[in-house]
Amino acid sequence: MTIEDVIKKSILPLAFMVFWFWMTKTIMKVSGQTDWFWWIFIAGLPFGIHKMRLILIPRGMDTTATLGMAALSVIIGALIGSIMIPVYVIRAIYVFIRYVIGK
């Protein structure tokens, strides 16, 4: 394992996560307090949308049904992402520790 692999698989994903969590926490402040439900929901979006592998868009239906199914896809993706965040963090730490022990 090279340092490039560690940077790609460990340092950059963790740096993106820290930046994304900071940004969403700043956005989700209401009256000086963070709304934790919405923060976890929004924080999970970039980590769960691509895990869905399918975006539900009905065929032959009106605009309301199409927008409703697109919104449902975003909600499901955000929930999957909020579950996948600890998996990504553990994987990044594992790659970093494996590199340190391997040297």
Q: Tell me: the pLDDT tens digits for 49-58?
A: 777 766 666 7
Parallel/antiparallel/unpaired status of strands 29-30 and 33-34 = antiparallel
More confident residue, 67 or 57: 67
Q: Where are the domains of the chain?
A: 1-100
Predicted confidence at residue 57, as pLDDT, reads 67
Give the 3-state DSSP-derived string for the chain, with helices as H, strands as E and coil as C.
CCHHHHHHHHHHHHHHHHHHHHHHHHHCEECCEECHHHHHHHHCHHHHHHHHCCCCCCCCCCHHHHHHHHHHHHHHHHHHHHHHHHHHHHHHHHHHHHHHHHC
User: What is the distance between the alpha carbons of residues 8 and 81, in angstroms, rounded to a whole number?
Assistant: 20
Q: Tell me: the pLDDT tens digits for 14-40?
A: 999 999 999 988 888 878 888 888 888
Note the pTM of the prediction, 2 decimals.
0.74
